Structure 1
Amino acid sequence: MRVLEMLLVASCAAVLIVLLVRKESYRKAGVAAGIACGVLLAAHLLEGYRWQMIPAYIVAGLLVAVAVSGRRKLWKPLHYSMLAIFTVLLGGSVALSLLLPVFHLPKPTGDLRVGTETFHFIDTGREETFTEQKDDKRELMVQVWYPAMKSGGSTGKSAVFPREKKLFQTYMQAYSDNLGVPAFALDYWKYSRANAYANADLLPADNPYPVVLLSHGMGVGRILHTSQAENLASHGYIVFAIDHTYSTIATAFPDGRVTGLRTEQPQDQFFEASRAILQVWNKDVAFVVDQLDSLNTDAIASKFKGMLDMNNIGMMGHSFGGAEAFEAAYTNPRIKAGVDMDGTIFETTGRDDMKKPFMFMESEEFTQVNQQQVKYRKTPITDEELKSLRLTREQFDTILANREQESKLIDRVTQQGGGKAVYVEGAKHFNFTDLQLYSPLIQKTGMTGSINGARGAALVNRYVLEFFNQHLRGIESKLLTGPNKDYPEVQYPKSVFQGA
């Protein structure tokens, strides 16, 4: 709860206590408490109301009226009934505010202040394949986080979501459709804050900063990886997160256009469609790397001129973005190391010779899938199981075959390139994003696991930082050598391909 919200509830409780006593000598105290309650209510409404507090607003308004009027002689059962109802309403507001809090992203663990700004890139040499408009070129929105000066050039701390009202409502409608809740229920997200300062000046350094590229999962967007980018930037990295247009929940362009999700992965052609999409994303990454060259050398007005270490580029991603991180690391010689956070690898054949360090961070469900692999190699899946999965036998066999090839590939890559494969006990798919920080109720949907959201975010940030420190900066990591008592949730399987 925000400070004024807590003070408002406390003042309401104080008025209730005074009214409960019912002594005439307490009348002045009741009036004073009522006035204080009214002042706090007004101050909080000016700060910004949210629907979770509506029961408290009702209680506060009625209590102010009763206290200020000085009326104390009520029929005793009615008196106590009103007090009981008011108490329940206040408790309801407190519960809603705690379960659906105004979240702020965790403070980065590095010593450096973080700045952020957004770029609009147009690939004039590439046609947009997700629209039917002729001569429509591929456009990307890319947000960057970087070490920043402690003063000057900043327009203040950035919000998690766009501040412009109409644009914010567009984003909330997209998220509400995706989560299956009314849009107004997410309106309070407008108060949530990140840690980076918008358009801050870049912190000068003797040497250029290593670069990390970041790709989101299918149908979400770069917003869900803000805290990961901020944390890396606070440790001296410059992070560029790409919104892969038409594969996001919403992407806003400078001219006011907002694109949504048009990418399709039909079940009967899932792998074929996914590989085609992956090639589009891979071209996005290659194009952005070229744009970074321009920012680093040719752009006169760029604050990043000469400050991007293009010889030390890392790539990370979640889910489909994790698949892209592997694809980019495999195909792009400029990318030195990569991290796949709980993403499937779609291109698995003929890829056994990548010598680059690569880390696979998997959820607990990863081990369950592997156990199913072993099971179905011994005992074929039944028709009833196929029906429950809504898959044909051919589709299931394709998935199983790809999973086995993927597991063998992960083993080879980690053995050849000095990378790592770990899984996190208690983590589910979205524990590798900021969504786990939005509300404790997210866990109830099954999108995140039993691990505490703040703990999950801190764990992922630490391991990603250690990995890039080791492979982009040459700082040897003790954490990555094996199981660590500070992170007992992180397990190191001897072989990903069980039963091989």
Structure 2
Amino acid sequence: MTTRSHRVALAALLTCALAVPLLGAAPATASQQAPAQAKYSVPGTRSTSAPELPRPAGQHPVGRRALHLVDRHRTDPWVPTARGRELLVTVSYPARRAGDGAPVAYMTTDEARLLLEARGLAGVVPAETLAGTRTHARVGAAPARGRFPLVLLSPGFGMPRATLTSLADDLASRGYVVAAVDHAYESLATEFPGGRVMPCVACEEVDGRDESGAVVRGRAADLSFVIDELTDRRRTGALARVIDPRRIGAAGHSIGGATAAATMAADRRVRAGVDLDGDFFVDDAGSGLGRRPFMMVGAANTHSPGSDGTDWAGAWDRLHGWKRWLTVEGAGHFSFTDFPWLGDRLGLPTDPEAPLSGERSWYVTRDYVHAFFDRHLRGIPQPLLDGPTASRPEVEFHRP
């Protein structure tokens, strides 16, 4: 049921997400975020120079295609009168040649405007500045020769897929095909074909654990449908030819991380998964994965063992394959997205309760996620995952 307090709390959460990179709490239900409401202000106008995302570390140049997919066999859970379940998917992949194709835009100006308005940053950061963020991918570049593992990415609740662009492009540069998915009516700033900016109906209707669990299960069905489409040569042609369907992983931020686990439980094709600071919201989280590997990475102040409000301990006990529970000291909820990197470069303030820098947040996220998939989708040994290391003192291993 929609409530005024729910809408106010959601606005508070989103205001902090970019301006103060980083809230500590990770639930998808906005009503639980109210304490962050009036903690910070952002006076004046900040940098108007378009920032640049971190440069991918792999050897491949990165190509990008956007796909509009519609599952006409499913009813949209938020708008039953819609023409099926619509998804927008950005596919990043290893490209054959550097400089092939036009540079990819980070997001449209309308998407940037909506995102900034939702955060109370209209007039602080120009929409054109955020939209003009420089990426390192090229539109329509020819895919590299060979077959590569596929990794699916699902963003946080209310967040567009663009917030995981750095992670997607870095993995692509290392030899992965990466599909970042926007789920219809679950994002505040996604422009669908024809200039349609769908309202975030879910943001108005989700107000509790049960409803959040329904989001997780619906997204899991979305990701399975995306796998079907991307591996069907009749539908995606050259992209399908470079995907190895025997090596598929899933990851996500916040409720997108819960989605990774739920997708693995429902779809045996997904061999490995990562949850970035997301609670699970379903009572049987972790069950159904068998011996398949799963990694949880979260902010230390909310996801360490014994932290109030997190459901990680129960999920951990139901995981019976290779598993890791890592927390990052100084991180906040959005530290595992593009936000802290962009916030630093736009001159926005840092949350004193999440002091880890945007640069450090990015390197920690990048290094552990790619190490996990290299180990479990490629079979490459990764000592980084074996235990604490002096080079990353902020990362703590729990319950080894």
Question: TM-score scaled to structure 2, two decimals?
Answer: 0.82
Q: How many residue pairs were aligned?
A: 354
The answer on whether the counterparts of 1:147 and 1:233 sit within 8 Å (CA) in structure 2 is: yes
Shift of 1:147: 0.5
The match for 1:468 is: 373
SS in 2 for 1:219: coil
Instruction: Name the CA distance, whole Å, in 1 between partners of 2:93 and 2:295.
Output: 23
Q: Deviations over 1:198-225 (max 9, x none)?
A: 11110112xx100000000001111000
> Which of 294, 297, 301 in structure 2 is aligned with 1:361?
297
> Which of 435, 451, 456 in structure 1 is aligned with 2:339?
435
Shift of 1:461: 0.7
Shift of 1:352: 4.2
Shift of 1:428: 0.5
Could you say if the C-alpha distance between residues 492 and 265 of structure 1 is closer, same or farther in structure 2, counting changes exceeding 3 Å?
Answer: farther
Aligned identity (percent) is: 31
The match for 2:18 is: none
Structure 1: which amino acid aligns with 2:67? F
**Aligned-residue RMSD, C-alpha:** 2.4
> Which of 125, 129, 133 in structure 2 is aligned with 1:185?
125
Shift of 1:182: 1.9
SS in 2 for 1:126: coil
Could you say if the C-alpha distance between residues 101 and 427 of structure 1 is closer, same or farther in structure 2, counting changes exceeding 3 Å?
Answer: farther
The match for 1:105 is: 53
Q: Deviations over 1:433-468 (max 9, x none)?
A: 00111123555356x821110111111111111100
The match for 2:209 is: 271
Instruction: Name the CA distance, whole Å, in 2 between partners of 1:372 and 1:200.
Output: 46
Instruction: Name the CA distance, whole Å, in 2 between partners of 1:260 and 1:266.
Output: 12
Could you say if the C-alpha distance between residues 198 and 450 of structure 1 is closer, same or farther in structure 2, counting changes exceeding 3 Å?
Answer: same
Instruction: Name the CA distance, whole Å, in 1 between partners of 2:323 and 2:106.
Output: 32
> Which of 217, 242, 246 in structure 1 is aligned with 2:185?
246
The match for 2:114 is: 174
Instruction: Name the CA distance, whole Å, in 2 between partners of 1:409 and 1:260.
Output: 32
Structure 1: which amino acid aligns with 2:196? R
**Are positions 1:159 and 2:105 aligned together?**
yes
The match for 2:38 is: none
The match for 1:59 is: none
Instruction: Name the CA distance, whole Å, in 2 between partners of 1:419 and 1:180.
Output: 39
**Are positions 1:117 and 2:117 aligned together?**
no
Instruction: Name the CA distance, whole Å, in 2 between partners of 1:131 and 1:305.
Output: 30
**Are positions 1:457 and 2:356 aligned together?**
no
Could you say if the C-alpha distance between residues 348 and 270 of structure 1 is closer, same or farther in structure 2, counting changes exceeding 3 Å?
Answer: same
SS in 2 for 1:359: strand
Question: TM-score scaled to structure 1, two decimals?
Answer: 0.66
The match for 1:320 is: 255
SS in 2 for 1:140: strand
Answer with 347-356 or 235-244: which moved more: 347-356
Could you say if the C-alpha distance between residues 419 and 372 of structure 1 is closer, same or farther in structure 2, counting changes exceeding 3 Å?
Answer: closer
Shift of 1:316: 0.3
Structure 1: which 5+ residue stretches go unaligned? 1-92, 163-167, 374-399, 496-500
Could you say if the C-alpha distance between residues 306 and 155 of structure 1 is closer, same or farther in structure 2, counting changes exceeding 3 Å?
Answer: closer
**Are positions 1:221 and 2:167 aligned together?**
no
Shift of 1:259: 1.1
Structure 2: which amino acid aligns with 1:330? A
**Are positions 1:283 and 2:221 aligned together?**
yes
Instruction: Name the CA distance, whole Å, in 2 between partners of 1:366 and 1:372.
Output: 6
The match for 2:36 is: none
Shift of 1:185: 2.9
Structure 2: which amino acid aligns with 1:292? L
The match for 1:34 is: none
SS in 1 for 2:201: coil
The match for 2:271 is: 336
The answer on whether the counterparts of 1:443 and 1:450 sit within 8 Å (CA) in structure 2 is: no
The answer on whether the counterparts of 1:157 and 1:195 sit within 8 Å (CA) in structure 2 is: yes
Answer with 142-151 or 424-433: which moved more: 142-151
Instruction: Name the CA distance, whole Å, in 1 between partners of 2:131 and 2:303.
Output: 37
The answer on whether the counterparts of 2:158 and 2:186 sit within 8 Å (CA) in structure 1 is: yes
Structure 2: which amino acid aligns with 1:108? P
SS in 2 for 1:451: coil
The answer on whether the counterparts of 2:72 and 2:83 sit within 8 Å (CA) in structure 1 is: no
Could you say if the C-alpha distance between residues 423 and 191 of structure 1 is closer, same or farther in structure 2, counting changes exceeding 3 Å?
Answer: same
> Which of 237, 244, 247 in structure 2 is aligned with 1:309?
244
